[in-house]
Amino acid sequence: MIWNESKECMSRDEIINLQSARLRKTVDRVYHNVEFYRKKMQKVGLEPADIRGIEDIKRLPFTTKEDLRENYPFGLFAVPQSQVVRLHASSGTTGKATVVGYTRRDIEIWQECVTRVLAMANIGINDKIQVAYGYGLFTGGLGLHYGAENLGSTVIPMSVGNTAKLIDMMEDFNVTAIACTPSYLLHIAEALEESGKLDKISLKAAICGAEPWTENMRKEIEAKLNIKAYDIYGLSEIIGPGVAADCQFHNGLHIYEDHFIPEIINADTLESCEEDEVGELVFTTITKEALPLIRYRTKDLTSINYDPCECGRTIARISRFKGRSDDMLIIRGVNVFPSQVEAALLTMGEVSPHYMLIVDRVNNLDVLEVQVEVEERFFSDEIKKLESLNKRIRNVLQSALGLSVKVKLVEPKTIERSQGKAKRVIDKRKNLV
Ligand code: DLL
């Protein structure tokens, strides 16, 4: 039995009718409550009544992260502060932090979305789940926490920072599920192996997200830990984790279309993409009260498909993320995403999923060096074996990227482990003038 069949298995007509009604309400509310939207709509001669349904969504102007920054902290809020029960904020590493707010109803909706994600991963009241996303302004910790509590699972609010303790509790409490970034889960897997506790744990499922990861990485994690790993997507601006997630068929991430209308656009022309064509994901929130967002450009690159899934859900699916448009590296004119490197590396049995991309400019030429961790034994073997592995990796990467790269094989544990979002790229060109 699917946990919320009535919301996830509607016919396309029912979805469109529901989205249209909610969109009309949202547009009306932002027009009357948020000066920013009123001015933007007036500029293009739009009134709320012009938006009759989702067929008119394309007439509405886009919203961007810059708009949120320019209206920092609360300029885009659509309710008075007295109705805001919680604030979260992005880290602001690339500029001023973006602040997001929630009414009590928003929190309930967010909670329900995360609950649906967990139910989709077959997690229930008999599960004990360690939430090992950061707690605090980041939406990962509290987002997963309340979703799991709402579902009725037993929540262990680990946060990040103490892997040894996490492992002890995993063993002592018979933890059955964990929510954390995929890179942190790899680190946990490594630590479990080292401590000899890998076969003493009862873990069966992981809910991983907050950063791009490939299908190969998902399978690698499943094999290492003998568990099922699921992909959860979300972003603070839209609500936090729980905007979309995959089911047991791992055939794309189901979007909760009763709350968020997705669009895929060509980032250059801003025109809509065809079904299954990769472009930038855009969301309009249709139930959020405190911070409704109209056609918010996520910068995340994916494609959309409307065919019903094998699991029975009819809500649209987005494909695994290729990355973010601002993560794309241009190396000697070739577009490279870190996810392509990861996918290619993990097709080879002998390399670990720990890698780093270092981009530099030498004699006016871009150079991409890929550092990859390989097992200790390669370093103790004769040098020939190391050279031959290096060559094989170079060839695999060259055919995957269409670009020649330098490969540096490094010893286990050389590449920094992350407990939150992994940093996989060092672009030294940014420091050049
Ligand atoms: O990362 C919310 C979250 C927490 C999602 C826990 C999943 C689990 P932000 O910090 O605002 O929010 O970052 C959002 O992270 O636009 C994507 O670029 C990236 N991202 C999130 N989930 C995935 C995923 C949280 N499953 C940004 N796959 C997004 C790929 C992801 N990228």
Report the separation in Å between the CA atom of 386 and the middle of ligand 1, taken as the mean of its atom positions.
36
| Both structure tokens of 418 | 């992350």
Which residue's C-alpha comes closest to atom 16 of ligand 1? 235
pLDDT at 2: 43
Domains and CATH numbers, the chain: 329-431 (3.30.300.30)
- What pLDDT is stored for residue 92 in this prediction? 63
User: Which has the minimum average pLDDT: 75-84, 315-324, 372-381?
Assistant: 372-381
| Residue 58: band (very low, low, confident or very high) from pLDDT cuts 50, 70, 90 | very high
Report CA(243)–ligand 1 centroid distance (Å): 10
Number of the ligand 1 atom closest to the C-alpha atom of 240? 2
| Whether pLDDT at 1 is above 50 | no
Distance 238 CA to ligand 1 centre (A): 11
Residues with CB under 6 A from ligand 1: 90, 133, 138-140, 143, 209-212, 231-236, 240-241, 298, 300, 321, 324
**280 alpha carbon to ligand 1 midpoint, in Å?**
15
**In the block, residue with structure tokens 């009763």:** 258
Nearest ligand 1 atom to the CA of 138 is 10
User: For a substitution probing ligand 1, which of 87, 99, 139, 326 has the most ligand atoms within 8 Å of its CB?
Assistant: 139
**Please, which pLDDT band fits residue 433 given cuts at 50, 70 and 90?**
low
Of 299, 269, 298, 294, residue with least CA distance to 39: 294
Q: Ligand 1 centre and the CA of 181: distance in Å?
A: 9
Which residue's alpha carbon is nearest to atom 9 within ligand 1? 235
* pLDDT confidence of residue 430: 81
Give the closest residue (by CA) to ligand 1 atom 21: 210
* Cα 47 to middle of ligand 1, angstroms: 33
How far does the centroid of ligand 1 lie from the alpha carbon of residue 304, in Å? 17
Residues 6+ apart with CB under 8 A from 200: 171
Question: What number does the ligand 1 atom closest to the CA of 144 have?
Answer: 6
Q: 182 CA distance to ligand 1 centroid (A)? A: 11
For ligand 1, what atom is nearest to the CA of residue 234?
Answer: 5
Looking at the DSSP bridge assignments, the partners of residue 130 are 156, 178
Q: Is-contact 110 240, C-beta < 8 A?
A: yes
Q: What per-residue confidence (pLDDT) applies to 94?
A: 61
- The whole-angstrom distance between residue 420's C-alpha and the CA centroid of its chain comes to 12
Q: What is the mean pLDDT of residues 220-228?
A: 97
d(CA 367, CA 359): 6
Pocket test for ligand 1, best of 88, 180, 221, 233 (most atoms within 8 A of CB): 233
Cβ neighbors of 287 (< 8 A, separation 6 or more) are 22, 26, 105, 109, 258, 259
CA of 210 to the centre of ligand 1 (A): 3
Statement: residue 100 has pLDDT above 50: yes
Ligand 1 centroid – CA 401 distance (Å): 25
Contact call for residues 317 and 245 (beta carbons, < 8 A): no
278, 321, 327, best to mutate for ligand 1 pocket (most atoms within 8 Å of CB): 321
Q: What percent of the chain has pLDDT over 90?
A: 91
**pLDDT, greater one: 96 or 373:** 373
Residue that the structure tokens 């007036």 belong to: 42
Q: What is the mean pLDDT of residues 88-96?
A: 76
User: How many other C-beta atoms lie within 10 A of the C-beta of residue 396?
Assistant: 17
Instruction: Say whether pLDDT at 84 is over 90.
Output: yes
Closest residue by Cα to residue 182 from 152, 149, 154, 215:
215
Query: Binning pLDDT at 50, 70 and 90, where does residue 385 land?
Result: confident
Ligand 1 atom nearest the C-alpha of 324 is 18
Reported confidence tier of residue 265, pLDDT bands at 50, 70, 90: very high
Cα angle at 389 between 385 and 394, to 5 degrees? Answer: 150
Centre of ligand 1 to C-alpha 283, Å, is 14
Asked whether the predicted pLDDT for residue 431 surpasses 80, the reply is: no
Residue nearest to atom 14 of ligand 1 (CA): 235
- Chain segment 334-374, per-residue pLDDT in tens: 999 999 999 999 999 888 899 999 999 999 999 999 999 99
Under the banding of pLDDT at 50, 70 and 90, the label for residue 381 is confident
pLDDT of residue 375: 85
pLDDT for the residue 377: 83
Rounded to the nearest whole angstrom, what is the distance from the C-alpha of residue 45 to the centroid of ligand 1? 35
- Contact call for residues 251 and 262 (beta carbons, < 8 A): no
Q: Which atom of ligand 1 is nearest to the CA of 133?
A: 6
Residue 189 sits at φ, ψ, to 5 deg, of -60, -40
Closest Cα to residue 153, out of 172, 171, 179? Answer: 179
Find the mean pLDDT for residues 196-206: 97
Examine the pLDDT at 76 and tell me if it is beyond 70.
yes
**What does each C-alpha distance from 362 to 91, 268, 309 come to in angstroms?**
33, 30, 49
Best mutation site among 69, 131, 146, 300 for ligand 1 pocket (most ligand atoms within 8 Å of CB) = 300
Q: Tell how strand 279-285 and strand 205-209 pair up.
A: unpaired
Mean per-residue pLDDT, 407-424: 94
pLDDT at residue 3 in the model = 57
Mean pLDDT of the chain, nearest integer: 95
pLDDT over 70 percentage in the chain: 97
The pLDDT tens digits for 128-178 are 999 999 999 999 999 999 999 999 999 999 999 999 999 999 999 999 999
Distance 212 CA to ligand 1 centre (A): 8
